Amino acid sequence: MNINGILAIYMFEMSRFRRTLFQSVASPVISTSLYFVVFGSAIGSRIQQIDGISYGSFIVPGLIMLSVLTQSVSNASFGIYFPRFSGTIYEILSAPLSYLEVVLAYVGAAATKSFVLGLLILGTAYFFVDMEIQRPIWMMIFLVLTCTTFSLFGFIIGLWADGFEKLQIIPLLVITPLTFLGGSFYSISMLPPIWQKISMINPVVYLISGFRWSFYGKGDVSVGLSLGMILVFLLICISILSYLFKTGYRLKE
């Protein structure tokens, strides 16, 4: 394992993160704060408690997932796409690094950025609502798994995209709508039976449900099923990446 090579790519990606703090951190935190003001304070004051939890506190896990999913995909996809766009990818491919080490570096950096952002939004939430995390260890586990899995997914998008506009298609037209429809601002049990069944097709439901369970001990589906769905998606992303690297898809062109 070429630790020095992995750290070189990782530190380069993290230095870019530090240079773009406003875009990478301040912008998502400000946007999420506006959600707390609008939904938690203005709308939340007119909505009864959900499962015994105040509405402002109820939406915290969903808002964190909304930002973490979007940023994980965006960070990882841009991280690998830009070297392809600029041509520096060939320097990386010619370096004494295996495909696994390249993925560890880029995905590790993207997951770290999203993880830090998730913790910052969590800290911001304490300024707006009263809440208590019942299972902090499980909360960290779900957050790490989600950041890692969707960073892998973003890495796949970065390999697939052949233009900057394609980098935004999946986050804007797929990830964000699925997150909004995945129970970020409501409980799936509040929907009519037919829509509850349809919602179960949405994989983000399981992510948000498990993450919310770590906060309040309540979720729309069992925690075992939530954890299982995350692991299945993780394995799917690893399998796809393995195939892409073996075939040299969009890397050797």
Are the beta carbons of 61 and 215 closer than 8 angstroms?
Answer: yes
Instruction: Determine the average pLDDT of the residues in 126-146.
Output: 90
Q: Is residue 252 in some structural domain?
A: no
DSSP letter for 250, please. T
State pTM to two decimals. Answer: 0.88
Q: Is the pLDDT of residue 126 over 80?
A: yes
**Among 211, 143, 206, 140, which residue's Cα sits nearest to residue 178?**
206
pLDDT of residue 59: 86
pLDDT of residue 80: 85
Q: Is residue 24 in some structural domain?
A: yes
Task: Categorize the per-residue pLDDT at 41 as very low, low, confident or very high, splitting at 50, 70 and 90.
Answer: low
Q: Is residue 219 in some structural domain?
A: yes
Q: Is the pLDDT of residue 140 over 90?
A: yes
Computed over every residue of the chain, the mean pLDDT equals 84
pLDDT tens, position by position, 200-238: 888 899 999 999 999 998 888 889 999 999 999 999 999
- The percentage of the chain sitting over the pLDDT mark of 90, rounded to a whole number, equals 23
SS3 53: strand
Top mean-pLDDT range of 51-60, 82-91, 151-160 = 151-160
Which range of residues forms the domain containing residue 238? Answer: 3-45+52-247
CA distance 185 to 194: 19
Q: Is the pLDDT of residue 36 over 70?
A: yes
pLDDT of residue 236: 93
**Among 61, 77, 73, which residue's Cα sits nearest to residue 206?**
61
How many domains is the chain built from?
1
CA distance 72 to 154: 7
Q: Is the pLDDT of residue 163 over 80?
A: no
pLDDT of residue 231: 92
Q: Is residue 27 in some structural domain?
A: yes
Q: Is residue 206 in some structural domain?
A: yes
pLDDT of residue 251: 66
Q: Is residue 253 in some structural domain?
A: no
Are the beta carbons of 250 and 159 closer than 8 angstroms?
Answer: yes
pLDDT of residue 45: 63
pLDDT tens, position by position, 102-120: 888 889 999 999 999 999 9
